[in-house]
A and B are shown apart, each in its own frame.
Chain A
Amino acid sequence: MQAVLDEIIEKTARISDDDRDKLIQILQEQKRKIKPNGKKGFVHPNTLWVKEHHAEYQGRYVAVEDGKLVGTGKNFPEALAEAKKNGSEKPMITYLPRDDEELRGGW
């Protein structure tokens, strides 16, 4: 195994910086590869609030902190301003789409 490793090290010393970056990325991905964790993982309290209340605020921005609503607005700055006015320091701000709104996954 050490011989293989030595050979890889020797070869990677000769590759370009771009190829080295690619190799680093691939190795990091291999190291990080994990299996799906099903429903055993973590859900943020703010996510739970969104799931429970999205229908009430659809089409608007909401500011949520520690699972509680701290502000609303028609856009990000409005929701942020109201959250700060209510003493919130680090709210999650998100738009809640209408149920009939088409969401696009990109170009």
Chain B
Amino acid sequence: MSYELVFEKLVNFDIDKARISVNVELRLGKDTVNFKANIDTGASFCIFAREYGEKLGISIEEGFLRYFNTTTGNFRAYGHGVTLITEGFAFDSQVFFAADESFQTNVLGRRGWLDRVIIAINDYDGKLYLSRYESE
């Protein structure tokens, strides 16, 4: 038995990098901020460095507080509603900004991104195939 999927986008990524990352834009009103984020199936939500939320003018600590566990401990982050754009696909979503300024990891996780896209990864060739779920 074979299976076939058709995707809207093909994104090339650097196979020499330790992680698979894509371009991210966050938008709130007229403000935008751009950076790269890693695709992480082990992250429950999309979690970004607080500086990106602050650049959008967000009051970080007034968001939806949750604690996230990692292999080395846990950290505090606050959920905020923003427009999340990756490779041209825009979603109004809740993303989390880490409370700690030293947290510099940016991940696209399951809730908020992976739950609304369909992806396929060809790691050998550095190719990421991407579609938004609702366009099926």
Q: Which residues of A contact B (CB under 8 A)?
A: 32-34, 36-44, 46-47, 50-51, 54, 64, 75-77, 80, 90-95, 97, 102-107
Contact = CB atoms under 8 A, between A and B. Distances in A.
B55 A50 contact: no
Nearest to A65: B92
Nearest to A28: B34
A76 B54 contact: no
Given A36-B50, A93-B92, A103-B45, A41 B60 contact: yes
Given A42-B28, A44-B81, A76-B116, A51 B64 contact: yes
A37 B56 CA distance: 11
Given A37-B59, A90-B92, A105 B68 contact: yes
B133 to A, nearest CB: 6
Contacts of A76: 115-116, 133
Q: How large is the interface on B (under 10, 10 to 19, 20 to 34, 35 or more residues)?
A: 35 or more
Interface of B: 28-29, 33, 38, 40-45, 47, 50-51, 54-64, 66-70, 74-75, 77, 79-82, 91-94, 101, 105, 107, 109, 111-112, 115-116, 133-134
Given A39-B59, A42-B58, A64 B81 contact: yes
B115 A105 contact: no
Which 10 pairs of residues, A with B, have the shortest CB-CB distance? A41-B59, A105-B68, A94-B94, A46-B81, A107-B42, A106-B43, A92-B92, A44-B81, A95-B111, A103-B44
A8 B66 CA distance: 45
A47 B80 contact: yes
Contact of A80 (B63, B79, B94, B134): B134
Contacts of B91: 93
B80 A43 contact: yes
B40 A34 contact: no
5 contacts: A75-B115, A93-B92, A97-B44, A103-B69, A105-B75
B43 to A, nearest CB: 4
Residue among A34, A76, A105 with the highest chain B CB neighbour number at 10 A: A105
